[in-house]
Every structure is written in C-alpha cells, then in structure tokens.
Amino acid sequence: MKALVFDTGPLINLALNNLLWVVEPLKKRFKGKFYITPAVRNELVEKPLATKRYKLEALQILKLIEDGVFDIYESEELKEKSLSLLKLSNSILKADENYIKNVQFAEIEAIVATKMLNADAVVIDEFVTRALIENPLGVKDRMQKKLHKAMKIDDNNLEEFKKQVSGIIVIRSFELITIAYEKGLFKEYYLDLKNPKETLLDGLFWGIKLNGCSVTEQEIAEIKKLEGF
Amino acid sequence: MEPTIKKEIIDILKQTIVVIEEDRLYKLRELSSQIIKTASVYQDKESISVAVTIYSLSKIYKGKDDVDNFVLPHLTDAVKALEKNNLIRYEAEMQHIIKDISEKDEKTKFYVQEVLQRAEIKKGSNMFEYGISMGQVAETLNISMWDLMDYIGKTRIVDEFNYKTNVKSKIEFTRGLFK
C-alpha cells in the first residue's frame, strides 16, 4: 500500500494558507494512505484547541482526521523506537562537550513511522530535521559558523543515525502544491489576469514559503522555470 | 546550573547593567543575541529567560528616561545572587524585572505581555537559525509551533541556509508518486 507520512509543519502551512481542502483530492490521486502520528496530531489539534488563535485551523485538521483523510499511525513499538531514535539524533552534535538537542519527538516520530510503514516519503517543511536526514554535516557546519563555536560530531552515533534513516525520502508541502497545480486542482483560480497561471503559482509558492515551508527564493524560480514561466 | 552557563549569564547581566547606566540601550539587542547562542547549545531555561528579558527591555525602553528605577537594582541583585549560587533569589530578581514593569498600570501590562510573547518568538527564530529544529525550539521555549512557522516564514533564514536541494529531482520523485 502506498503511503505518505506527514510531519506537523506541512499541515500547519496548508492550514495557514487555507489550502487544507487540497489534501483530499491529492490523496485520491495518490491512491494510497496519508498518515500522521500521535505526537503530530497533538501539535496540530490538541495544543491549538487549547488556545484561541489557531482553534479554527485545528478544527479543520480534526475534520480531516475524522473524515478519514488522515489515518493515525499509533503503536507502542512506534513510541519506543521514536524515543530511541530521538536520543540518538540528539547525540550527534557536540559543543563544549555537551550534546545538542537538534530535534524533537514529533519530528522523529514521523520519521520512524515512515520507516515502519515502509512509506514512500515523509512530508517535512521544517529545515533542520530534513537537513539532518539529507546532510547532517551541513547542520554541523551551519551551527559552527553561526554560533562561532567548535562543533564536534560523534561519529558512531552519526553512522548509526544514518543507518536508521537510510532510504527515507523527504518532500515538502512545496512539492505537493506543485503537483496539485500540475493536476489542475487550482483550475478555478485561473482568473481574468494578464498571466493567470504564473500569478497563481507565485501566490501558492510565496504563500507556503511565507508560512514557514523551507523553500528558497531560488528553488521557487527553478520550479517556475520548469513549469514554463 | 552549569558553570559555563552561570559564567555567561553573569557576564551578560553585568554588561546589561553597564549599557543601561551608560544609556547605550541599543546594545541590549546585541547582548540578547549573544546569550541566545548559549541557549541554543544548552537549551536551559535560565539563559533563554535572560535572552527574552533583555530583548524585551530593548523593546520597552527607547531612551534612558524610560528606564524604571527598579530595573538596575533587580539586575544587580540577580548578579549577586548568582555569584553566591543562590538560584532561588536569582530567579526571583529576574522575574521581578518584567513583573514590576507590567504592574505599573493596566495599559502597560498588555503591552509588556505582547512584547514578551514577541520576544520569545524572536529568540526562538534565532535558535532555529542556529540549527535547532522548529519543533525543538517550540518545546524548549514553550511557544506555539504555529506562531513560530508564521514568524520564521517571513524572515530570510531559510534562504540564508545556503543548503543545496536538488529540487528538480524532488519534483520528479513526487510526480512519480501521483501518476
């Protein structure tokens, strides 16, 4: 069975852009399952429901869960494996002989679920978690440069971490929205403008970037070029 | 408290006292940025609280005349308490700075609350910039991931990461999933 696992960020992003409606038609075209984990659900639903500001967005996400658009992947094994990988992930980089906690439980739980479900990809908008999977040395260099501190890598832990996350592919809401555009899901927004499609793509890409998806201006330009603009 | 953190906090608070006395309030933001680097490494509540407090002061006080009389005594007593390892007294002094400012009147109270909230998000975005994930930042500072994403998206942090993603291959892969 095809599957995608979502971290917290992409759904916050879609909610902040009023784009949650696109998830269901995307899932239909995906012909598989969309999952979130219990910790991600907590960030997306329980926490904002306890506040005033994002209550409405939380309700919209809860509706997607109740309608079965998202399944919750939950098991004792997931929790145990996530705690173990969290410990490992936060024991890779060191400064002043102190391990740096780079990532948090919900982010790691999404990664572990991806592995356990043998999912096709994990959707993560957040930059540091993605970079830790794709290029952990890049995170080290970045921290060293920004903190003006010598950073050390625990080689054994890094190797074990790489082994545990090997084969995991990370995509972002940016890629999902591009596909939704290509599939014509935004057709009704081809409005009476000079460059309707380009304007729409600009609106979509900048909307998700400005709400926290880790996509650069250069990447937006690259994809616009690929789409013929 | 870790000796390194203690030393750093004492140093930052002493510098804070000097810049306030010398009416160089523009330096407060710099001091706050300095201590948030320590906070990114240790993720301890003490250095985070100092960073947020000093950043808030930089927003509340625009000139020497704005500075409340109780601020310098609180800062001085906080330093003394920390030097004597009296953490309870130290925390009380630090908490009193913002509390006393917000209790001046009802209008100030709401303004200070707003400043504090913004200061936490701003300092959170600094930690993210230094390489701590959004989820971890939100948890450490006890702030909303929703607010954090909203704030960070409007900054240039991600563009400045200088991290090359093969965006074309990511799109091709994603296309393959939706065929």
Q: pTM (2 decimals)?
A: 0.94
pLDDT at residue B102, as a whole number: 87
Closest-CA residue of B relative to A220 is B167
Q: Does domain A1-92+101-135+155-171 have CATH number 2.30.30.60?
A: no
CA terminus-to-terminus distance, chain B: 56
Q: How far apart are CA B66 and CA A153, in angstroms?
A: 47
CB of A103 closer than 8 Å to CB of A86: yes
pLDDT at residue B2, as a whole number: 87
CA distance B100 to chain A (A): 26
Q: Which residues of A touch B40 (CB under 8 A)?
A: 100, 143, 147
Q: How many H-runs (helices) and E-runs (strands) does chain B carry?
A: 9, 0
**B168 interface with A at CB cutoff 8 Å:** yes
Closest-CA residue of A relative to B178 is A30
Q: Which residues of A touch B114 (CB under 8 A)?
A: none
**B44 interface with A at CB cutoff 8 Å:** no
State pLDDT tens for residues B6-47: 999 999 999 999 999 999 999 999 999 999 999 999 999 999
**A57 interface with B at CB cutoff 8 Å:** yes
**ipTM metric:** 0.95
Domain-wise residue ranges, chain A: 1-92+101-135+155-171, 188-226
Structure tokens at A56: 């409405």
CB of A139 closer than 8 Å to CB of A100: no
CB of A76 closer than 8 Å to CB of A37: no
pLDDT at B163 over 80: no
pLDDT at residue A91, as a whole number: 97
- Burial level of A8, CB count in 10 A (0-12/13-18/19+)? buried
State pLDDT tens for residues B125-154: 999 999 999 999 999 999 999 999 999 999
Chain A interface, best mutation among B35, B42, B113, B136, by max A CB count within 10 A: B136
Beta bridge partners of A33: A3
Read off the pLDDT of each residue in B48-65 and give the average, rounded to a whole number.
Answer: 92
Structure tokens at A13: 């992003």
Residues 128-187 on A with a CB inside 8 Å of B are 128-129, 131-132, 134-135, 138-139, 142-143, 146-149, 169, 171-172, 175-176, 178-179, 182-183
User: Where does the pLDDT of residue B159 fall: very low under 50, low under 70, confident under 90, or very high at 90 and above?
Assistant: confident
**A80 interface with B at CB cutoff 8 Å:** no
Residues 98-137 on A with a CB inside 8 Å of B are 98, 100-107, 120-121, 125-129, 131-132, 134-135
Residue type, A123: V
Angle at B6 between CA A152 and CA B58, to 5 degrees: 100
State pLDDT tens for residues B100-117: 888 887 778 888 989 999
Out of A48, A102, A217, whose CB is closest to B131? A102
Closest-CA residue of B relative to A141 is B131
Angle at A38 between CA A34 and CA A40, to 5 degrees: 70
Q: How far apart are CA B154 and CA B136, in angstroms?
A: 19
pLDDT at B162 over 80: no
Q: CA quadruple A157, A160, A164, A170: dihedral positive or negative?
A: positive
Ordered per-residue pLDDT tens for chain A, 229 residues: 899 999 999 999 999 999 999 999 999 999 999 999 999 999 999 999 999 999 999 999 999 999 999 999 999 999 999 999 999 999 999 998 899 999 999 999 999 999 999 999 999 999 999 999 999 999 999 999 999 999 999 999 999 999 999 999 999 999 999 999 999 999 999 998 999 999 999 999 999 999 999 999 999 999 999 999 9
Q: Per the CB < 8 Å rule, is B146 touching A218?
A: no
